[in-house]
Chain A
Amino acid sequence: MDICYHCGDQLPSPSIPFDHKVFCCQGCANVYSLLNSKALKDFYQFEKTPGIKPNKGRSDKYQFLDIPEIRARYIQYEDEEIARVKFSLPSIHCSSCIYLLENLAKINTHVLTSQVHFAKKEATIVFDRNAMSLSEIADLLQFIGYEPDFGRKATNHGIQKSFLLKIGLAGFAFGSIMLWSAPDYFGITLDNLSFRNFTAYLSFIVSLPVFLYSANAYYLSAFKAIRSRSINLDVPITLGILALYAQSTYQIFTQQGPGYMDSFAGFIFFLLIGKWFQNRTYQSLSFDRDYSSYFPVAINRISLNGLEIIPIEQLKEGDRIQVRNEEIIPCDSTLVSDEAKIDFSFVTGESALVTKKKGDLIYAGGKLQGLSIELSVKSVTNRSHLTQLWNETKDKKASNKLIRYQDRISRYFLLILMLVALLSGIIWTFIDPSKIMTVIVSILIVACPCALALSSPFTLGNTLSVLGKNGLYLKNTSVVEALSEITTVIFDKTGTLTDPLAYSVHFSDNKMTKERWRVLTELSSHSTHPLSRIIHQHVKAENTSIHLVNFCEHKGKGIEGSFDGHQYRLGSSTFIGLTAKNVRNGTVFFSLDGEVIQEIQVTSAFRAEIPQLLKQLSTKRIFVLSGDDDKDLPELISLGFLSEQCFFKQEPKDKAAFIAGRQKNGEKVLMLGDGLNDVGALGTANVGVALSEDMFRFTPSSDAILDAKHFQLLARFFQVSNYAKVVLKVCLGFSITYNLIGLSFAVSASLSPIVAAILMPLSSITVVFLSSTLIHFKYWRGIE
């Protein structure tokens, strides 16, 4: 038992015992005792260590939610007594979470009901509006470990619903018409003409809503394509639908026969199912986040009457604002306070704190560490240094849209179709001119590329789910195609090639003795500073601790203590008393009576899988673009990169320009990045992949999100996408073969409704079966 009972984290020393259980921090213990007191112990029954370590937050963190304008954004419904709010809670991850969140009413009696949508990671909470404010609900959620995310936009659900309605209608018509067409299928011709007419009219009535409503997206798409003078697959589909429906209607009303209404409805039914399959995506991930979800919703502005909270949109140039510990700098601004320590890790990937002095310009996106500061706004958020890049690349992507393989084929398809129809028309004028119309219409019907249209969504959709199981989440199926065409892979360095959670520690080792190592071990164990903790992890294995006196920690500077009459200090250069020379970020000094005896360099370590990955990627061109200087070049070379592949001091704009240059040479580029500064590059690349340590947290907008745990699978993902392309070609081959068989019937004027009714579902089902089995059979055990 060395994990926390609540959150399952490794226990630190000393751990916190409570109620015969052990916890890693006071936060976890607090949540446990709260749940315990409210008889919600079942929380720990469904899963082992289901809890989330709560983040320590300030008590007034969510105060901004009580400003009427901001409150109105989140409240869905409100009357005299109750209000309903929907929060996005990214930390929802197991059934115990559902249990806890749906029992909020037991924790706080002013909460009336709460309901969780697990897939979307949302909770809808109804509460007594007179007894409780919105910020109190957010505080409660934060306390039990579910920090609300205010950046996510509500997913559009209307489209999905109407889609289901369309499928339902088409399925109903398909089944019903098949029912009374059954005699035809078995070759039983009923002599009773009035009954045949009756069923024919019934078919017409039932399929009318399918024609008018279920299929309308195809007409629209085909119309749009023709108007922009291009051809997509929806054009021959629409042509087929119209021919099929017109021919059938004509036959029914001239009482020549029942028409092809069963084929028609089934056709639409299969097509819609294919489309539904293609559109299934990851509801809980968000690929299109813009900068507004990264920055805070509200800002503290310093005005004449003290502090006031305003929405971020109301910020103006020249405003004075206050930013507090752990808050994000919302806009480019100059520092008014004396000094500030800022963590730019999400912007640059560098985890060491950057110190800014009074009057310095601070770019938006950094996170403040330490005492609160005062800033003067230089430019508002949507025009700041980083977000500008975001705005620029947003439009570029749309024009950069790739032409799908399917659409390329459909051009030839339509051309050949027209040719065949024309030729057979000419031939039939010599054989039997009265059948020309029948032949041409049946050619259009049977050539309708239903199976062709299904092969792409099912092949790519199955690939999408295989990749998703292995940690690569694609935005949509067209990314699979783009992935298979990649020739060039570009890595960002910090945060992508380096692992932000792993560190390497270098000691200068000049004047150390056994005793001094022990002092260092003891000193570092008492500080809460991240650098100090990393050092402690490295030295504690070899050194036992020692008893020190006169401890004193100076927050954000260092820690001191005495042993045997000597004073030891561990901390920054200024804390040690060195005059500010050019000190690298992440350097810690260890001094004895004012004299430096050890210089410790903490840098983030490169991922261990890199050399192996590079070997697997040998067929691709590889580049590294780094925002840093070239201090890491030797290490990159030792990992297997060539020095001409590495480019340093790359500004966000340079990265995007570099990729655009490569694309001009005809290369297809995949960019792997992680931070805000990669947004431009991710947007420009053919496939932009955001690498993420925690996927449900903020990721820059991208085409795909890669779980950092599966970084080493990158080369495999290319193989999977290539295989998917082969499967796609096989399926296309099959569907075209079916179309050719159908065409031979049509050209010889012998296409009966029964042939159409068999051929059409058969071809669709073959393709669906083939694509699913080929992909899942190969990768059912994972892709390694």
Chain B
Amino acid sequence: MGMIYLMLIVSLCIAAFFLLFFLWATKNGQFDDDYTPSVRMLFEDEPKLKDE
């Protein structure tokens, strides 16, 4: 029976970790703009021309 206490606390800790991660992401502005980054990742960097 002692095991279930441990399991509960561990699962709560994992959930709490994700909550904190979510809070951090929100504060950090991860949800501010949900369109631009999806386009930005498609832009290719220009291949650098080597001097001849």
* Cβ 8 A contact of B35, one of A118, A179, A199: A118
Is A72 in the interface zone, CB < 8 Å from B? no
Contact B1 A118 (CB under 8 A): no
- Chain B residues lying within 8 Å of A164, measured Cβ to Cβ, are 26, 31
B52 interface contact, C-beta 8 A: no
**Of the 9-residue stretches A169-177, A420-428, A599-607, which lies at the interface with chain B?**
A169-177
13 interchain pairs, CB-CB under 8 A: A39-B46, A95-B42, A118-B33, A118-B39, A119-B33, A161-B26, A164-B31, A165-B27, A168-B23, A172-B15, A172-B16, A175-B15, A195-B4
Chain A interface residue bracket vs B:
20 to 34
Grouping DSSP codes into helix (H, G, I), strand (E, B) and loop, the B interface class, with mixed when no group exceeds half, is helix
The answer, among B11, B19, B27, B40, for a CB contact under 8 Å with A179, is B11
- Give Cα distance in the complex from A182 to B4, angstroms: 13
Interface 1/0 per residue, A202-231 and B, CB below 8 Å = 100010000000000000000000000000
A98–B43 CA distance with the chains assembled, in angstroms:
10
Q: Number of B interface residues, CB 8 Å?
A: 26
**Quick check: B36 and A98 within 8 Å, CB to CB?**
yes
* Residue from A115, A157, A164, A202 having most chain B Cβ neighbours under 10 A: A164
Residues of A within 8 A of B11 (CB): 176, 179
Name the contact of B19 in the complex, choosing from A118, A169, A198, A199 (C-beta under 8 A): A169
| 8 Å CB contact of A102 from B8, B15, B43, B44 | B43
Majority secondary structure of chain A interface residues (helix, strand, loop or mixed): helix
- The residues of A with any CB-CB pair to B shorter than 8 Å are 39, 42, 46, 95, 98-99, 102-103, 115-120, 157, 161, 164-165, 168-169, 172, 175-176, 179-180, 192, 195, 198-199, 202, 206
Contacts of A198 in B (CB 8 A): 5, 8
Quote the shortest CB–CB distance from B44 to chain A (angstroms): 7
Q: Which residues of B contact A175 (CB under 8 A)?
A: 15
Which residues of B in the span 1-52 have a Cβ within 8 Å of any Cβ on A? 1, 4-5, 8, 11-12, 15-16, 18-19, 22-23, 26-27, 31-36, 39-40, 42-44, 46
- Residues of A with C-beta under 8 A to B23: 165, 168
The list of the 8 closest CB pairs from A to B, nearest first, reads A118-B36, A172-B19, A95-B39, A118-B35, A168-B22, A164-B26, A117-B33, A98-B39
Residues of A contacting B1 in the complex (Cβ-Cβ under 8 angstroms): 192, 195
Q: Which A residues touch B32, using CB under 8 A? A: 117, 157
Q: Given A157-B32, A202-B12, decide whether A42 and B44 contact each other with a Cβ distance below 8 A.
A: yes
Beyond the given A164-B26, A198-B5, A202-B8, could you list 10 further A-B residue pairs with CB under 8 A, ordered by the A residue number? A95-B39, A99-B39, A103-B43, A115-B36, A161-B27, A164-B31, A165-B26, A176-B12, A195-B1, A206-B12
Tell me the minimal C-beta distance from B27 to chain A in angstroms.
7
A622 to chain B, nearest CB (A): 40
